[in-house]
Amino acid sequence: MKGDINALFQPMKIGTMEVKNRIAMAPMGLHSKNPDGSFNQDAIDLYVARAKGGVGLIVTTGIACQNKLDAMRATLATAGDSYKESNKKLTDEVHKYGAKIVLQIANGAGRNRKDGFFMDNDPISSSENPNVWHPEVMHRALTTEEVQFLIQSYADGAYVAKQAGFDGVEVHALHEGYLMDQFSMECTNRRTDQYGGSLENRLRYATETVQAIKDKCGKDFPVLIRYSVKSYMKGFGLDKGALPGEDFEEFGRDLEESAKIAKILQDAGYDALDSDNGTYESWYFAHPPVYMPKACNLADAQYIKKFVNIPVICAGKMDDPEISAEAVASGRIDAISVGRALLADPEWANKVKTRHYDDIRPCIGCHAGCLERFFSGKNTSCAINPQVGQERKCEIKPADVKKNIMVIGGGISGMEAARISALRGHNVDLYERTNSLGGVFIPASSMSFKEEDKKLIQWYVKQLKDTGVTVHMNTEVDENTIQASKPDFIFAATGSAARNLNVEGANSEKVITAVEALLETKPIGDKVVVIGGGLTGVEIGYSLTKDKGKQVEILEMLPEILTVQGLNAANKTMLQNLVSAHNIGIHTNAKVTAITSKGVQFEENGCIVELEADTIITSIGYVSDKSLYQAIKDCGADVHLIGDASKVSNLMGAIWDAYEIAQSI
């Protein structure tokens, strides 16, 4: 059922705060802060761009209220006038566009903390609990006095937020297994004081927090809470996350308990539930990868809506306008929370309102530019939108001198170079030797769970047309072409070629490349061996098992699969769990020695093993194609290699490389 898009653009009230529409910007981690913890100009520009882009409510990244326990970098405990003045610049600018903005206030990760930035010398939790990332590290229980200190710091932090002009605060939270959530769940709370035992006691940390904030800031000051409806945990450990649709016994919070909790939170004084699902064990519910379905948390959010009268906001791949509009129009939820899609396209809300869906640059769920950068201590950005977090630095400005630009290669990197060059006013011709634009991203997007990848190609094709790029299909470029067109600047975006398997029997008809498998240009038998346990190889194995019913074994030379730079834990753990659920065989430390008439022969733990296979798919990497560049680099024009032709990388590398060079012409 398609929903009326207008439903997303009706006003709503959260406590005393009126929001102009039903679209919230989800809280996403940012390191763009001044030394005092206030948002710097990069962060202000990021949020203001989304306010200008039409969102009704912005929920900021979490700011710690204190720095004595489980410390985070930014803190409200010592915030002075400079903090309030800096953030007043943000709130004033956001308000100019009719949006509301609430500050997410936090008090620690507890057992979720990671090494380096995320681990300190005094790991704490609700009770003695193992660290998520390092199970050998045990977190001690907070004392009663320490819990009460944290509660008061929430109130003090909210008061600072109010003085800085924020329209409310969001408590972080009974969400994703963070510290307050560890108090709420029986599996992580074995306390015997007033903050443990019964459900009401386990929620006392959360309920006393909102009461303290209201006492300090006034009953009319809106307070939201980030809330994971269901935990999807099978136990402690990164391999203990449940998958969508899986039949399992809930270790954390189930729906029955969640209904009671929602009512308790409402009665305590919270003005809205900003909901999703999961803990760090099932991180992929809160940060859904490409393998997650659209609106993956909607069913659970709409369940708790039945038990409360306060607004329920739903996050989790809510970027399909029709699904979201129907959910709001039918009253199943009150509003949607959109995160990464607003990084990919800050004008998402405005484009939805005007029904320009094909102009929306789609989020592809990779997490490479956002979550992975944040957890690596870098400023949050976006793999497909390099402007995120550096809106001023990366502003697209007209070129001082208009030039004739030739782009050789119509893959993603080539199309990005052409798009940016055209937006800056250059005359751009793009040459593609095949009959399709997209390059290696065409096979990469062919799997059933890569719909957003397909949309990204379509988006680029439309942008080339809209920006006036002249596209020459089925055209090989050589020195004669260059002499005839007389370009001032050439982008050589000729991509890469699959690395060859160099063992006895590699020329067997059984052996096909990853591209041939993805494009289905060669037949694939029932028994398949994939050589290469990187992201592409494992995704092919999963796709063949899930969609084609094939029996798949994966061979990887390294000690484990998916050792891919830039691959976020949410994506990695979900894919690993999917591999396990679909009974895909994994052989690590496996060195292929020969292709035989039976299948694949390889060395494993000092022994020679042979696997039977009808088809053998090689996914062992790519080699940059620099041949054309070598032939034309002295042609008289300024020639630059970009994308995989320069260095084999991921999509983020290809786009950022093209963007940076196109901006410099």
Question: What is the per-residue DSSP string for 59-123?
Answer: EEEEEES-SSSS--SSBSTT--HHHHHHHHHHHHHHHHTT-EEEEEEE---GGG--SGGG--SS-
Instruction: Give strand ranges (E) for 187-247.
Output: 223-228
Q: How many CA atoms lie within 13 A of 103 on its CB side?
A: 31
- CATH class as words, domain 5-375: alpha beta
- Which CATH code for domain 511-620? 3.50.50.60
Q: Where in the chain is the domain with CATH 3.40.50.720?
A: 404-498+623-664
Q: What pLDDT shows up at residue 136?
A: 93
- Which CATH code for domain 404-498+623-664? 3.40.50.720
Residue 169 CA: distances (Å) to CA of 434, 439, 469: 53, 46, 46
Q: Where in the chain is the domain with CATH 3.20.20.70?
A: 5-375
**280 annotated active-site:** no
Q: What pLDDT shows up at residue 235?
A: 97
Distance between CA atoms of residues 431 and 402, nearest Å:
20
Q: What pLDDT shows up at residue 80?
A: 87
Q: Are 72 and 108 in contact (CB under 8 A)?
A: yes
Phi, psi of 581 (to 5 degrees): -65, -30
Band (pLDDT 50/70/90 cuts) for residue 69 is: low
Q: Which of 83, 159, 178, 659 is catalytic?
A: 178
Q: Where in the chain is the domain with CATH 3.50.50.60?
A: 511-620
Question: What is the per-residue DSSP string for 464-517?
Answer: HHHTT-EEE-S----HHHHHHH--SEEEE---EEEPPP-SBTTTSTTEEEHHHH
Distance between CA atoms of residues 187 and 128, nearest Å:
11
Helix, strand, or coil (residue 257): helix
Lookup result for tokens 């940059």: 624
Start-to-end C-alpha separation, the chain = 48
Per-residue model confidence as pLDDT tens digits over 121-133: 689 999 999 999 9
Nearest to 366 by CA among 463, 450, 256, 466: 450
Q: What pLDDT shows up at residue 117?
A: 43
| pTM recorded for the entire structure | 0.95
Band (pLDDT 50/70/90 cuts) for residue 108 is: confident
Per-residue model confidence as pLDDT tens digits over 128-176: 999 999 999 999 999 999 999 999 999 999 999 999 999 999 999 899 9
